């Protein structure tokens, strides 16, 4: 449903007015809010409707046609990553990461459990920030990284197979929230914020966070090895983060500089801060072994806190108002932009001044502030169109505001200029937003996604738990045009858009892919070639069943085990035609997995129940798919 079909919203949407502005305006002759920079022309409801209808035609992707962009959405409390086509907003795939997925067998198969490691014990996840690896500030299509706030994890997804291949639990901290990547010269590091302040050691003896041994850490992860390279202790807490286009600096917002544990305490200070990290200085200290460690972890730890008014070599703290949330690097590389949340402003930190800040050549850290434009109530996140304009979500106003960065700087320096270009109502309470290619040098200003947290009255009612609303906005012209509402489930926190040419997934698996190398190594040790052999290996009470599959049959259609045996079933799909996936489900055993063309997958279970048990292919693969079955007999002990 679009705003064209919502008569209650139509007057506001079609004029471009805010809800508050509409109350005192004439609908027939209202001007767009903040029209400086797009002339003084007044758009009638009819002309606005025509413009929106034209934009809607541009986002329609006909049957058989392909989307121009591929988007990756965090699956929120589902613990997964979702893949969408843009501008159609069609969901193409779900990539399980921190969750259990019975369709693919993620969290059930031996391969996925090996990747999850000890954290496989957790049955939940809370994904927030998906980000694509880069080379020279452009997406390279190699990996996407995602955090799990609930269980303090970071995972990596291989984009050639669209499956998670690495997962780590971050030591010494709790709740990974903000996550971004080094942009240049390539994604050597993943930067991850640990949000919550905890005691060190966290042994149950400290509860008062004001103690000097209570703090959190900024985490720098080696993107290839997927190991924590080093950590930096900070004052206050950490929220969101981003990196610059030089490779030297990263920055993060802090909303709890007070180290408080209650709502009122966290809002006490009128200013919190952005902490800026000198990654190169930190690397040198680690290389020179000027670090410590915490607890049982061997990860190098640097102290980035201010001590007796003296700055650390690795950090600088820039005061900004108030309880800042989002931290975004402008696509031109000029600014870190901190979004005020409890202030109507955003703070533009000039990255070119940061070397002088670290060299102590500036009298005040706030000398790095290039502008602090007032945008509206509840600014949370900012994105960019590559044409000098920024777009910020206003959570309380339920709007996206388009504003010009150069004009904001001019206004901050005393010129009388209106930097706001337009305010567009969205529905409702937007959090993150993301424009096409906006995190790279190639931001192209075509499409913007507003991820709205509320959707009341936008969709058919489905009970007390409402869907959320991902809205597609055309930003290719001077005026933003809302063209699509997309209901979505719990809770797409953030998304990222790449051009389809930047992501090149395989159509079938490569034989002996590293993803299942452990399984093929086990087979080799058993004297089995998984691509040709159908064998049963008995090793005491452990039974390994190796079978191939070609539509519509398994290579082994019956086998026997003893009650209490530990059974490992290994299936290799020999089909070479894309889209001919098989499944393996052992009835009444909680066993399910997907095996796509040329893939090997395995699952282990205990055969506790005597009797005959059927197994079957769960992915429809052939006209005789229903006949693709087999039997296991469990003989009484």
Reported as a single tens digit per residue, the pLDDT across 123-171 is 999 999 999 999 999 999 999 999 999 999 999 999 999 999 999 999 9
Query: Could you tell me if residue 628 is inside a domain?
Result: yes
- What is the arrangement of strands in the sheet containing 249-254, beginning at the earlier edge strand? 241-243, 249-254, 271-278, 315-321
Provide the pLDDT confidence category of residue 18 given band limits of 50, 70 and 90. very low
Query: Could you tell me if residue 286 is inside a domain?
Result: no
Provide the pLDDT confidence category of residue 455 given band limits of 50, 70 and 90. very high
Mean residue pLDDT of the chain comes to 92
Query: Could you tell me if residue 534 is inside a domain?
Result: yes
Cβ atoms within 10 Å, residue 611: 12
Query: Could you tell me if residue 405 is inside a domain?
Result: no
- Of 329, 332, 419, 433, the C-alpha closest to 378 is 433
Beta carbons of 438 and 391 less than 8 angstroms apart: no
**CATH code at position 539:** 2.60.40.420
Helix, strand and coil percent figures for the chain, each rounded to 5: 15, 40, 45
pTM here?
Answer: 0.92
Please report the pLDDT score of residue 58 as a whole number: 77
Please report the pLDDT score of residue 50 as a whole number: 73
Q: Which of 224-249 are b and which e, b meaning 16 or more Cβ less than 10 Å from the residue's Cβ?
A: eebebbbbbbbbbbbbbbbbbbbbbb
Beta carbons of 435 and 457 less than 8 angstroms apart: no
Kindly state the tokens that stand for 547.
């079978």
Residue 370 to residue 488: CA distance in whole angstroms: 38
Query: Could you tell me if residue 629 is inside a domain?
Result: yes
Query: Could you tell me if residue 548 is inside a domain?
Result: yes
Query: Could you tell me if residue 308 is inside a domain?
Result: no
Query: Could you tell me if residue 577 is inside a domain?
Result: yes
The count of C-alpha atoms lying within 13 angstroms of the C-alpha of 533, restricted to the half-sphere facing its C-beta, is 15
- Of 97, 81, 62, 189, the C-alpha closest to 129 is 81
Each residue of 244-275: pLDDT tens digit?
999 999 999 999 999 999 999 999 999 999 99
Q: What DSSP element (H or E) covers 284?
A: helix 279-287
Q: Compute the Cα dihedral for 107, 111, 114, 115 and give only its sign.
A: negative
What DSSP designation does 182 have? -
- CB proximity list for 514: less than 8 A, separation 6 or greater: 165
Cβ atoms within 10 Å, residue 132: 25
For residue 594, give its domain range: 516-635
Residue 312 to residue 291: CA distance in whole angstroms: 13
> What is the C-alpha radius of gyration for the chain, rounded to an integer number of angstroms?
27
Total of domains in the chain:
1
């Amino acid at each position: 449903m679009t705003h064209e079909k919502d008569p209650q919203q139509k007057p506001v949407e079609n004029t471009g007015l805010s809800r508050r502005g509409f109350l005192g305006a004439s609908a027939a002759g209202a001007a767009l809010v903040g029209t400086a920079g797009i002339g003084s022309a007044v758009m009638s409801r009819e002309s606005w409707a025509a413009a929106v209808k034209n934009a809607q035609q541009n986002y329609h992707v006909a049957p058989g046609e392909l989307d121009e962009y591929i988007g990756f959405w965090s699956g929120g409390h589902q613990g997964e990553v979702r893949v969408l086509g843009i501008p159609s907003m069609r969901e193409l795939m779900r990539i399980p990461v921190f969750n259990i997925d019975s369709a693919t067998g993620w969290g059930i198969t031996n391969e996925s459990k090996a990747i999850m490691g000890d954290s496989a014990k957790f049955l939940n996840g809370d994904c927030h920030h998906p980000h694509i690896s880069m080379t020279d500030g452009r997406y390279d299509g190699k990996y996407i990284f995602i955090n799990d706030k609930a269980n303090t994890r970071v995972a990596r997804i291989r984009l050639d197979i669209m499956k998670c291949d690495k997962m780590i639990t971050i030591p010494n901290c709790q709740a990974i929230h903000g996550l971004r990547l080094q942009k240049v010269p390539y994604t050597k590091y993943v930067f991850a914020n640990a949000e919550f302040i905890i005691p060190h050691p966290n042994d149950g003896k400290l509860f008062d966070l004001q103690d000097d041994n209570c703090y959190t850490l900024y985490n720098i992860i080696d993107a290839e090895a997927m190991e924590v390279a080093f950590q930096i202790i900070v004052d206050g807490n950490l929220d969101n983060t981003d990196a610059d286009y030089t490779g030297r600096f990263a920055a993060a917002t802090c909303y709890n500089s007070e180290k408080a544990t209650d709502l009122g305490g966290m809002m006490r200070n009128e200013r919190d801060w952005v902490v800026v990290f000198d990654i190169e200085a930190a690397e040198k200290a680690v290389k020179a072994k000027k670090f410590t460690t915490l607890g049982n972890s061997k990860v190098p730890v640097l102290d980035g806190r201010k001590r007796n008014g003296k700055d650390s070599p690795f950090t600088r703290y820039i005061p900004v108002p108030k309880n800042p949330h989002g931290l975004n690097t402008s696509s031109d590389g000029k600014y870190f932009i901190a979004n005020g949340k409890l202030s109507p402003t955003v703070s533009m930190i000039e990255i070119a001044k940061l070397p002088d800040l670290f060299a102590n050549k500036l009298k005040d850290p706030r000398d790095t502030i290039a502008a602090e434009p007032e945008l509206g109530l509840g600014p949370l996140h900012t994105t960019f169109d590559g044409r000098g304009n920024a777009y910020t979500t206003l959570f309380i106003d339920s709007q996206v505001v388009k504003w010009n960065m150069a004009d904001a700087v001019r206004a901050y320096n005393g010129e009388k200029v209106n930097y706001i270009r337009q305010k567009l109502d969205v529905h409702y309470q937007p959090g993150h937003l993301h424009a096409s290619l906006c995190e790279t040098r190639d931001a192209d200003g075509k499409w913007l996604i507003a991820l709205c947290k509320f959707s009341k009255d936008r969709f058919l009612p489905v009970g007390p738990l409402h869907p959320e609303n991902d809205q597609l906005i055309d930003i290719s012209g001077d005026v933003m045009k809302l063209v699509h509402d997309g209901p979505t489930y719990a809770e797409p926190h953030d998304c990222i858009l790449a051009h389809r040419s930047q992501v090149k997934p395989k159509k079938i698996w490569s034989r002996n892919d590293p993803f299942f190398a452990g399984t093929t190594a086990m087979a080799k040790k058993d004297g089995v070639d998984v691509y040709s052999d159908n064998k049963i290996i008995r090793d005491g009470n452990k039974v390994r069943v190796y079978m191939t599959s070609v539509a519509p049959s398994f290579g082994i259609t019956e086998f026997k085990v003893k009650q209490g045996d530990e059974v490992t079933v290994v299936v290799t799909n020999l089909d070479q035609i894309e889209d001919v996936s098989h499944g393996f489900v052992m009835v009444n055993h909680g066993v399910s997995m997907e095996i796509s063309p040329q893939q090997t997958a395995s699952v282990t279970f205990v055969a506790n129940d005597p009797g005959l048990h059927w197994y079957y292919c769960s992915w429809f693969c052939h006209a005789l798919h229903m006949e693709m079955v087999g039997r296991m007999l469990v003989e009484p002990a």
